[in-house]
Amino acid sequence: MKKETSQSPYKVGDILEVSPYLTMLDDWIIGKVIKIFKNPFIGDEIAIEDDKGRIFFGVKDYFKPHKIQ
């Protein structure tokens, strides 16, 4: 059986920001990657959880690395 590998540049535990386009909120939300799904139709889907316990997921195009200031 062939092991499927993720093409995502991110891994579980990374801190990312998710686009307001995906969350329908005003600002980018910071969260920790909790899972990366292998979707055969659209590619890798990333799931993050923010500090309030909310979970957001979508294709990697809606995420960017969090820059610590």
pLDDT digits (tens, 9 = 90+) for 10-54: 999 999 999 999 999 999 999 999 999 998 998 899 999 999 999
Helix (H, G, I), strand (E, B), or coil: what is residue 25? coil
Q: Can you give the pLDDT at residue 67?
A: 86
- Give the dihedral sign, CA 52/10/24/40: negative
* pLDDT given for residue 2 in this prediction: 44
pLDDT recorded at residue 6: 60
Say if residue 1's pLDDT is above 60: no
Quickly name the fold that domain 15-65 has. SH3 type barrels. (2.30.30)
| Calpha distance 67→69 (Å, rounded) | 6
